[in-house]
Structure 1
Amino acid sequence: MTAQTDCRRVVTNIALSLDGRYAAPDNPLDMSWVMPYAVTGVARDHLTGLWEPTTTALLGRVNAEGFLGFWPTVIGMEGADPRDEGFARWLVDTDKVVLSSTLGEAPWERTTVVDKPAAEVVADLRATEGGDILVLSSASVIKALLAADQVDRLALTVFPVFLGGGPRLFDDGLPAAKWSLTTQKAGEHGTLSLVYDRVRRPHTAAAGA
């Protein structure tokens, strides 16, 4: 699926605890709190609905290493959920942009490494043809794009657990913005899928002003 050059949406997706955290306080890389909920039907359907219209994945280095180290192994895995395998195949085949100041060359196919601010990278991508630009769970990238008001669709899966500490996604000082709830679904174990679209005046949609 493609869109007009000036209409490429920037879509961000991340999992949050009920108290608004995206990582545990003691070990930000430990995502074990996510796993019981990430394999629910509503979470899998949520991710499928995001990647299907997407032609560019945008990731930070840490998430790129995690995603691209794991997901290709799902392809052909015995007993794999078809939705997981579909996402894995898409991730391997789609164009990927990784933001990093330390990674010299990309060890993954169809991947470009860029050492520029996230908002500048998004502006460059918006100037090209393609479908949605999906930011996959990279909190630092999402934070930067929210601060620059460059997010068109905010997708969240909320899991019913308090982490009691750790980094929050929504920092103080974000630009005032109005959002429209596009979809909401509840699933197993209290998993909640939410998708919000940024409400903008028509002439500012592409610029993000």
Structure 2
Amino acid sequence: MTEQTTGQTTGRTTGRRVRANIAVSLDGRYSGPGGPGDLGAIVPYAITDLARDHLTRIWEGATTAVLGRTNAEGFLSYWPSVAEDGDADPRDRGYAKWLVDTEKVVFSTALTEAPWERTRLVNAPVADVIGELKATGTGDVLVNNSVSVIKAALAADLLDRLYLMITPEISGSGQRLFDDGLPASRWELTRQETGERGELALVYDRVR
């Protein structure tokens, strides 16, 4: 694994930042031609050392996780057991324990009862909710792999940091992360790593 640091990622004192993390294929798709559950170009790279180290950086320093309903319910079926598994990779377990213990905000129009402890359900515009979170509290806010929320936050120019995993596969079709019509913005590459299988872990900070 090779690593290149291209800028400063610490020492900012501008207040609470909003981060987001997502993995995409080389052609920018977070799911393949089979629909939202087709993660064939993503999953094989999720358990590499590069991905696990990247995951640790994603959650460290964040005190609020923001999720869409689908991810909240899917994560609930997996991560709590990892948090209790003494044989799990320590990086996976660290993330799992953070996710279980941290404050969670879940966007949903359907749920009437929170699927996790320490969870608040919201049915409001993403920009309003994230704007409120950004203006209050301490620690960073992590929009945790929930594409609908990430897209809305990008459209409202509310993201301060973007963690991207790019896998060396072309899906050919499927859903893209970056839709047409987003507001123009400039980003600084502040960290770059290359894994042994050709996957990339990138960190971009919004330049304002």
SS across alignment from 2:197: helix
- Whether the 8 Å contact between 1:100 and 1:115 is mirrored in structure 2 is yes
Identity value in percent: 60
| 1:6, distance to aligned residue in structure 2 (A) | 6.6
| TM-score w.r.t. length of structure 1 | 0.90
Q: For the Cα contact (< 8 Å) 2:41–2:170, is it kept in 1?
A: no
The structure 1 residue matched to 2:172, chosen from 156, 164, 168, is 164
In the other structure, the counterpart of 2:106 is: 98
Counterpart residue number, 2:159: 151
Q: 1:167-186 to 2 correspondence within 5 Å?
A: 167-186=175-194
Match of residue 40, structure 1, among 33, 48, 60 = 48
Partner Cα distance (2:19, 2:154) in 1: 11
Residue among 29, 34, 41 paired with 1:21: 29
- Verify the 8 A CA contact 1:153 1:198 in the aligned structure 2: yes
CA distance in 2, matches of 1:193, 1:147: 23
C-alpha contact 1:57 1:133 (8 A) present in aligned 2:
yes
Deviation at 1:32, TM superposition (A): 4.0
CA-based RMSD of the aligned residues comes to 1.7
Cα–Cα, structure 1 residues 141 and 36, in superposed 2: closer, same or farther, change >3 Å? same
Once structures 1 and 2 are overlaid, which stretch shifts more, 77-86 or 105-114? 77-86
Is 1:107 paired with 2:122? no
CA gap 1:189/1:91 in 2 versus in 1, 3 angstroms: same
Of residues 83, 87, 106, the one that matches 1:75 is: 83
2:64 match: 56
- In 2 relative to 1, CA 134–171 (structure 1 residues): closer, same or farther, beyond 3 Å? same
How many pairs were matched up?
198
Which residue does 1:8 correspond to in 2?
Answer: 16
Query: Measured at CA, do residues 4 and 68 of structure 1 come closer, stay the same or move farther in structure 2, by a change above 3 Å?
Result: farther
**Structure 2: 5+ residue stretches without partners:** 1-10
Name the stretch that deviates more: 5-14 or 79-88. Answer: 5-14
Residue 65 of structure 2 contacts residue 105 of structure 2 at CA under 8 Å; is this kept in 1? yes
CA–CA separation in structure 1 for the residues paired with 2:83 and 2:199: 25
Structure 1: how far apart are the matches of 2:181 and 2:16?
26
Aligned to 2:120, the other structure's residue is in SS state: strand
1:45-92 Cα deviation digits (max 9, x unpaired): 111011011000000000111112211111232531100000000000
Q: Which amino acid aligns with 2:201?
A: S
What TM-score comes out, normalization by structure 2 length? 0.91
Alpha-carbon distance change, 99 to 6 in structure 1, aligned in 2, over 3 angstroms: farther
Q: Which residue of 1 aligns with 2:5?
A: none
**Cα pair 2:193 2:201 within 8 Å, conserved:** yes
- Consecutive unaligned residues of structure 1, counting only runs of 5 or more, are 201-209
Cα distance in 1 for partners of 2:58, 2:27 equals 24
